Structure 1
Amino acid sequence: MKALTWHGKGDIRCESVADPAIQHGRDAIIKVTSCAICGSDLHLFDGVMPSMEHGDVVGHEAMGEVVEVGRDNKALTVGDRVVVPFTIACGDCFFCKRGFHSGCERSNPNKADAEKLWGHSPAGLFGYSHLLGGYAGGQAEYLRVPYADSGPVKVPEGLDDEQVLFLSDIFPTGYMAAEFCNIQPGDTIAIWGCGPVGQMAIRSAFLLGAGAVIAIDAVPERLDLARAAGAWTLDFTEEDVYDRIQDLTKGRGADACIDAVGTEASVASGLDAVVDRLKVATFMGTDRPHVLRQAIQCCRNFGTVSIVGVYGGLLDKIPMGSAINRGLTFRMAQTPVQRYLPMLMDRIVAGDIDPSFVITHRATLEDGPDLYKTFRDKTDGCIKVVMRP
């Protein structure tokens, strides 16, 4: 089959790889009908995430048609059309039973390596390094889905791929980011990053009752899309973020702040972002947490900082004195997609939201390597890429 594979920093290729096969009775094989490039895939493209190996199949936003089912899988049948969560979860362990599927105790076969880095292992993820299981990803013609009787959700009749594909990751992630904010009617929510997850967080914040959303970015197309949702927008290259948020909130600060950027904050953000990049380039640091620092400073006393941007290692110069003296709450996670997917599917069916609004580029797998560069460089108005294998 054809698939997009990783061969080092900046090197994604479309090439032929072996077809996946059933390895366990609960598995399923799907023929991928749609997949997408996620912002967190760019961390792989930029060589930020450790333990990638040459030839790894990438991608964790995928959906398709079931073409084979393991003998123990009673939930799916051949021909079912399903969305696949990017988090791989058994459905039966301590964390899965509590709705924390991204903490699954069984789905990462390389959990010992993750424990050395993080103390405990999260769940395995599709196409996202051997530290998180070494699973082949979904930017391919076919995908093996482990624990397929607890993860994939069937798509109701009448919904096309583009309406539901993002239930695999960015819509649940953006919704979770807003839910973490414990939004009260009329609250003001500041969101750093107006990429696909940030766009979903903006709309989710309004769905949950926010009175105002402040959307922070520097890409004109992203800011336009945020304004179309009703957000106030702030270009961090033209205005001081802290001062502007203070103005908009009458000096109190945002009720909650969402970091939808993560480890690769733009060096245009400020001097500390430049220093962060130099540290990473010289192996003196692992992440670039400028946005997290700024979100802490911009959050009101006893507010919430919600973190869904991906970080991988140790963060320098975080203003914990500000956070503890002002009573901030931190909420963060890899999204337990299985927890949110059915409810958000209902939102789509009800017409509350159509996540396809974020798509700007439609392509084939062969176009994928070039579109990784386009997406990373934010050229050609690119906000979200969907590929049909």
Structure 2
Amino acid sequence: MKALTWHGKGDIRCDSVPDPTIEDGRDAIIKVTACAICGSDLHIYGGIIPGMEHGDVLGHESMGEVVEVGAGVGNLKVGDRVVVPFTISCGECFFCKRGFFSGCERSNPDRAKAAKLWGNSPGGLFGYSHLLGGYAGGQAEYLRVPYADVGPIKVPDSLTDEQALFLSDIFPTGYMAAEFCDIQPGDTIAIWGCGPVGQMAIRSAFLLGAERVIAIDTVPERLALARAGGALTLDFHEEDIYDRIMELTHGRGADGCIDAVGTEADATASADSVIDRVKTALFMGTDRPHVLRQAIHCCRNFGTVSIVGVYGGFLDKVPMGSAINRGLRFRMGQTPVQHYLPMLLERIQKGEIDPSFVITHRATLEEGPDLYKTFRDKHDGCIKVVLKP
């Protein structure tokens, strides 16, 4: 089969690789009908995610048609259309039973490696390094889905692939980011990053009752899409974000601040972001947490900082004194997608949101390597790429 594979920093190829097969009774094989390039895939493209190996199949936003099921999968049958969560979860361990599916204790066979870096291991993820299981991803013609009796959700015929695909990651992630803020009537929510997850967070914040959403970015197309979703937008190259948010909130700060950027904040945004970039280039640091610092300072006393942008290691000069003295609450994590799927699928079916609004580019797998570069460089108005194998 054809699949997008990793061969080093900036080197993504469309290769021929072996078709997946059933390896366990709880496996299923799907024929991928739609998949996407995620912003977190760009961290892999940029060579900053550890544990990648040459030839690894990428991708964790996938859906398709079931073509084979293991003997232990009773909830799916050949021919079903399904969306596959990016989190791989057994459904039976301590965390899965409590709804924390992304913390699954059984789905990461490389958990010892992850524990050396993070102190403990999260669950396995599709297409995202050998720290997280080394599972082949879904930017491919076919995908093996472990624990298929727990993860995939059936898609009704009334929904198109493009309406349902983002249930795999960015819609639940954006929704969780907003939900973390415990939004109350009248709240102002500030969101850093108007990429796909940020766009979903904007719409989700309004769905959950926010009165005002402030969206921060510098890319014109992203800011325009945020405004189309009802947000007030700020360009961090044109305005001092702290000063502007304080002005808009009468000196109080935003009720909730969402970091939808993560480790690769713009290296030209401020003096501290330039220093972060130098440190990572000299291997003196692992991440560039400029956005997190700013979100902390812009959050009101006893407000919430919600973090869904990906960080990989140790963060430098995070203003914990500000957070502690002003009573901030931090909420963060890889999204336990299975927890959110039924409710978010229902919202789509009711017409409350159509997640396909974020798509700007549609292409084949063969065009995927070029579109990784287009997406990374933010060229051609690229906000979200969907590939159709």
Q: TM-score range by the shorter chain?
A: over 0.9
2:33 corresponds to: 33
Between the aligned partners of 2:157 and 2:40, the Cα distance in structure 1 is: 30
**Secondary structure of the structure 1 residue equivalent to 2:18:** coil
Between the aligned partners of 1:94 and 1:342, the Cα distance in structure 2 is: 21
The answer to whether residue 252 in structure 2 is matched with residue 259 in structure 1 is no
Q: Which residue type is aligned with residue 138 of structure 2?
A: G
**Secondary structure of the structure 2 residue equivalent to 1:224:** helix
Give runs of aligned pairs for residues 1-389 of structure 1, distance below 5 A. Answer: 1-389=1-389
Between the aligned partners of 1:249 and 1:72, the Cα distance in structure 2 is: 55
Between the aligned partners of 2:268 and 2:210, the Cα distance in structure 1 is: 29
**Secondary structure of the structure 1 residue equivalent to 2:286:** coil
**Secondary structure of the structure 2 residue equivalent to 1:244:** helix
**Secondary structure of the structure 2 residue equivalent to 1:268:** coil
Deviations 1:239-265 (A, max 9, x none): 000000011101100001000000000
Q: Which residue type is aligned with residue 307 of structure 1?
A: I
Deviations 1:29-66 (A, max 9, x none): 00000000000000000001001000000000000000
Between the aligned partners of 2:96 and 2:148, the Cα distance in structure 1 is: 14
Corresponding pairs, count: 389
Deviations 1:74-121 (A, max 9, x none): 111000000000000001111001000000000000001011111110
Between the aligned partners of 1:270 and 1:55, the Cα distance in structure 2 is: 37
Between the aligned partners of 1:143 and 1:85, the Cα distance in structure 2 is: 12
Give me the TM-score of the superposition, normalised by structure 1.
1.00
Between the aligned partners of 1:230 and 1:260, the Cα distance in structure 2 is: 18
Q: Which residue type is aligned with residue 151 of structure 1?
A: G
1:342 positional shift: 1.0
Dislocated runs of 4+, deviation >4 Å? none
Between the aligned partners of 2:376 and 2:157, the Cα distance in structure 1 is: 35
Between the aligned partners of 1:261 and 1:85, the Cα distance in structure 2 is: 21
Between the aligned partners of 1:269 and 1:302, the Cα distance in structure 2 is: 27
Q: Which residue type is aligned with residue 341 of structure 1?
A: L
Deviations 1:314-358 (A, max 9, x none): 000000000000000000010000000111000000000000000
Between the aligned partners of 1:5 and 1:219, the Cα distance in structure 2 is: 28
Between the aligned partners of 2:360 and 2:228, the Cα distance in structure 1 is: 15
Between the aligned partners of 2:273 and 2:157, the Cα distance in structure 1 is: 47
Between the aligned partners of 2:34 and 2:331, the Cα distance in structure 1 is: 31
Between the aligned partners of 1:268 and 1:186, the Cα distance in structure 2 is: 33
**Secondary structure of the structure 2 residue equivalent to 1:206:** helix
Between the aligned partners of 2:342 and 2:367, the Cα distance in structure 1 is: 32
**Secondary structure of the structure 1 residue equivalent to 2:20:** coil
**Secondary structure of the structure 2 residue equivalent to 1:131:** coil
Between the aligned partners of 2:230 and 2:268, the Cα distance in structure 1 is: 26
Q: Which residue type is aligned with residue 248 of structure 2?
A: L
1:157 positional shift: 1.9
Q: Which residue type is aligned with residue 296 of structure 1?
A: I
1:186 positional shift: 1.2
**Secondary structure of the structure 2 residue equivalent to 1:130:** coil
Between the aligned partners of 1:199 and 1:277, the Cα distance in structure 2 is: 26
1:268 positional shift: 1.9
Instruction: List runs of 5+ in structure 1 lacking aligned partners.
Output: none
1:285 positional shift: 0.4
Between the aligned partners of 2:146 and 2:277, the Cα distance in structure 1 is: 37
Between the aligned partners of 1:157 and 1:55, the Cα distance in structure 2 is: 35
Q: Which residue type is aligned with residue 369 of structure 2?
A: P
Please tell me the root mean square deviation across aligned C-alpha atoms, in Å: 0.4
1:267 positional shift: 1.1
Between the aligned partners of 1:264 and 1:48, the Cα distance in structure 2 is: 9
Percentage of pairs with the same residue? 81
1:207 positional shift: 0.2
1:269 positional shift: 1.2
Between the aligned partners of 1:53 and 1:97, the Cα distance in structure 2 is: 32
Between the aligned partners of 1:342 and 1:86, the Cα distance in structure 2 is: 15
Between the aligned partners of 1:267 and 1:241, the Cα distance in structure 2 is: 16
Deviations 1:256-295 (A, max 9, x none): 1000000000012111111111111111000000000000
Q: Which residue type is aligned with residue 162 of structure 1?
A: E
